[in-house]
Amino acid sequence: MDRPHVAIVGGGGTGAALAHDLALRGLRVMLLERGELTSGTTGRHHGLLHSGARYAVADAESAVECIQENRILRRIASGSFEENGGLFVAVTDEDMDYKPGFLAACAACGIPTGELTPAEALQIEPSLNPALKAAVWVPDATMDAMRLPLRFFASARRNGADLCPFTEVTGLLRHGALVTGVAVHDHLSGRDAEVPADLVVNATGPWCERLAGMAGADVPVRPSPGVLLALRGRLCNRVVNRLHPAGDGDIVLPQRALSVVGTSAWVVTDPDDLDVPEEHVQAMYREGARLVPAVAAAGFRAAWSAARPLVGAAGGASSGRQLSRTFKCFDHAVTDGVEGLVTITGGKATTLRAMAEAAADVVCAKLGVQVPCRTRETVLEPHTAYYTGGRAA
Q: Which of 9, 23, 5 is nearest to 205 (CA)?
A: 9
How many other β-carbons are positioned within 10 Å of the β-carbon of residue 367? 15
What is the nearest approach in angstroms of other proteins to the Cβ of residue 74?
Answer: 11
Residue whose CB is less far from other proteins, 191 or 374: 191
Q: Pick the binder of other proteins from 117, 189, 282, 318 (CB under 8 A).
A: 189
> What is 104-143 written as a DSSP string?
HHHHHHT---EEE-HHHHHHH-TTS-TT--EEEEE--EEE
What is the nearest approach in angstroms of other proteins to the Cβ of residue 43?
Answer: 3
Residue whose CB is less far from other proteins, 233 or 245: 233
| Stretch of 36-44, 90-98, 206-214, 242-250 contacting other proteins, by CB under 8 A | 36-44
Edge-first strand order for the sheet with 81-82 is 48-49, 141-143, 81-82
With a CB cutoff of 8 Å and minimum separation 6, the contacts of 297 are: none
Q: Indicate whether 158 belongs to the interface with other proteins (CB under 8 A).
A: no
Q: Pick the binder of other proteins from 39, 92, 335, 378 (CB under 8 A).
A: 39
Size of the site for other proteins (CB under 8 A): 51
| Stretch of 48-56, 285-293, 328-336, 383-391 contacting other proteins, by CB under 8 A | 383-391
What is the nearest approach in angstroms of other proteins to the Cβ of residue 209?
Answer: 18
Residue whose CB is less far from other proteins, 35 or 372: 35
Q: Indicate whether 42 belongs to the interface with other proteins (CB under 8 A).
A: yes
* Contact flags string 253-292 toward other proteins, x per CB under 8 A: -xxxxx-x-----------xx--x----------------
SS3 65: helix
Compute the distance between CA of residue 145 and CA of residue 80 in angstroms, rounded to an integer. 9
Q: Pick the binder of other proteins from 15, 47, 181, 220 (CB under 8 A).
A: 47
Angle, alpha carbons 221-224-226 (nearest 5°): 160
Q: Indicate whether 145 belongs to the interface with other proteins (CB under 8 A).
A: yes
Residue whose CB is less far from other proteins, 90 or 261: 261
Compute the distance between CA of residue 211 and CA of residue 219 in angstroms, rounded to an integer. 9
Q: Indicate whether 118 belongs to the interface with other proteins (CB under 8 A).
A: no
SS3 273: coil
Compute the distance between CA of residue 37 and CA of residue 383 in angstroms, rounded to an integer. 13
What is the nearest approach in angstroms of other proteins to the Cβ of residue 215?
Answer: 22
End-to-end CA distance of the chain: 11
What is the nearest approach in angstroms of other proteins to the Cβ of residue 300?
Answer: 9
